[in-house]
Structure 1
């Protein structure tokens, strides 16, 4: 198995991730008020997805995540699509990201000298994303690791056969879902990162210590990086330390804006955390992060700032 994350970091020094794909799709005019969320654009406006990917690449992202976070066989079946249609949409999502990446690389007018070829990550959202009830922020599914394995297996099988460089399990709220992902990575022999949703500076949404969850990832060779995403940016430094206690694998951090998702009203509420994204990226790298980006409510401007902060600090970070 190749390890695209470690290979990129060894060549580029630091991996800049993209921001919130759904946030950028809404900026482009997409209506995502739907249980399918960003995956709705695969049906309604796939070209907007390609445009959003390109915007993040131009902003400085070294890795873009596909519009498959909320794309599941069950979710599309509820929309009247059969299994073959769903598989085609999953494959299309990866092709859109690969096309945006390849077009960006081919455009010599904007290709930075010496910048490694960006990566494409096939996004895998948690069971709670399919439920669309906010339970990705609690992990309270009442399902075992075996049941969660069965839920994710069909989508995983399709994405594992695409051109994606890595599978990205995002906003993982529980130990049981972590165990399911580790087994899927082992069975498919595909490089995978697992990124956690955390309720505070040390615990997953379900209360599992992040150190314990990171240890599960450390034990599975096909999990090539550990991440934290869709958390308040103010928790990031603490979470890096907790993850580093259990793993020597690359750590990727991509917090949200600091606003809170209200599952009842389907809206982000509260103020965003006051942030100097460039300075924060410098701090995250010094704390031990190997890559950084943003999640919900984080756009291209913030990714440009993250790149400026993280890359400019490379000479002072060991």
Structure 2
């Protein structure tokens, strides 16, 4: 890869759907874990074959929001452990070094900071942490919508020896009078500066994910400025969703994908993130192995 650039994998859910795995709402990517986990292995392998240097364990939907509270209580730990085991095995059998990130996802709905329940979150996240511990190289708290949510998950992981990466999701709701080249904020409405103050000295990398790719360049620039001399690795992995409809809920519908975000277009967009200061790049929902292959080929040593 280009010196200093790490390419991570793409969107697990949409890749599972593409290869014919059991897939649908509300279980999303967890349905394949439940019904036919070999598809999860194949999806990971597809991203490794495309050139990804890091794969994310398929635990994103292993939460009560997607499984329901009863199934999570009965099988959540088992499914999270299975997801981590599969990712670990794919990494360990690869012909080149592959890292595994343990996904620590939103518990109460993606993009829904108003639904965060700080009293309930630690015990639920602890299930996922204990199930994946010893199987992953680092922790990735992803699609984090607010500073409060970040602080809660960071506290759960505080005693773990593995590095902690945290990835925030950005609002896609650009105000009518906003300048798209500079406007960005977390889904909670908090600023990048507020977030930078919260993570300063506490994490090993900060990323942005599961938002429109157009939102990332200004966010990265603002994060670089806000961190100043406290600089740490910065990353970005966007989704390819069409604009979400009013009242969208992340476990109710399967969103359609944009048709303009080709592999070449994604590489060009990611280059702007790199120019802004990112050193970790990949994809989220709807970013497929062909996108990751194009990124990897572009930044191959």
**Scaled by the length of structure 2, what TM-score is found?**
0.85
> Which residue matches 2:253?
266
Shift, 1:286, TM fit: 1.6
- 8 Å CA contact 2:257–2:286 kept in 1: the answer is no
3-state SS in 2 of match to 1:228: strand
SS at match of 1:158: helix
**Compared with structure 1, are the counterparts of its residues 155 and 29 closer, same or farther at alpha carbon in structure 2 (3 Å cutoff)?**
same
Q: Tell me the matched-pair count.
A: 282
2:1 matched to 1:14? Answer: no
How far apart, in 2, do the equivalents of 1:183 and 1:274 lie?
Answer: 37
Determine the C-alpha separation between the residues in 2 that align with 1:179 and 1:139: 13
User: What SS class does the counterpart of residue 165 from structure 2 fall into?
Assistant: strand
Instruction: Say if 1:233 and 1:258, in contact at 8 Å, map to a contact too.
Output: no
Match of 2:294 among 297, 305, 309: 305
The answer as to whether partners of 1:218 and 1:246 remain within 8 angstroms in 2 is no
Counterpart for residue 126 of structure 1? 106
1:18 match: secondary structure:
coil
Q: C-alpha offsets along residues 42-96 of structure 1, whole Å, 9 cap, x if unaligned?
A: 111110000100100110111101110111367656464655x432221111110
Matched, 1:86 2:76: yes
Matched, 1:137 2:126: no
Residues 1-318 of structure 1: matches in 2 within 5 Å? Answer: 13-72=4-63, 76=67, 78=69, 80=71, 82-83=73-74, 85-105=75-95, 111=96, 117-129=97-109, 136-141=110-115, 143-144=117-118, 146-159=119-132, 161-200=133-172, 201-220=183-202, 223-247=203-227, 248-262=231-245, 263=248, 266-269=253-256, 271-274=258-261, 276-311=265-300
State the alpha-carbon separation in 1 of the partners of residues 136 and 244 from structure 2: 29
Shift of 1:259: 1.9
Unaligned runs of 5+ in 1: 1-8, 106-110, 112-116, 130-135, 313-318
Structure with the larger RCO, 1 or 2 (CA within 8 Å, 6+ apart): 2
SS at match of 2:190: coil
SS of the counterpart of 2:188? coil
1:171: how far off? Answer: 0.7
Partner secondary structure for residue 284 of structure 1: helix
Contact 1:228 1:254 in 2 (8 A): yes
Query: What whole-Å deviation, never above 9, does each CA across 1:176-205 have from its counterpart, x for those lacking one?
Result: 101112212213343211101100542110
Q: Which is richer in helix?
A: 1
**Structure 2: tracts of 5 or more residues without a match:** 173-182
- Alpha-carbon shift at residue 311 of structure 1 (Å): 4.3
State the shift of 1:277 in Å. Answer: 2.0
Alignment partners' CA distance in 2, 1:13 and 1:187: 28
3-state secondary structure, aligned to 1:252: strand
Q: TM-score, normalised by structure 1?
A: 0.80
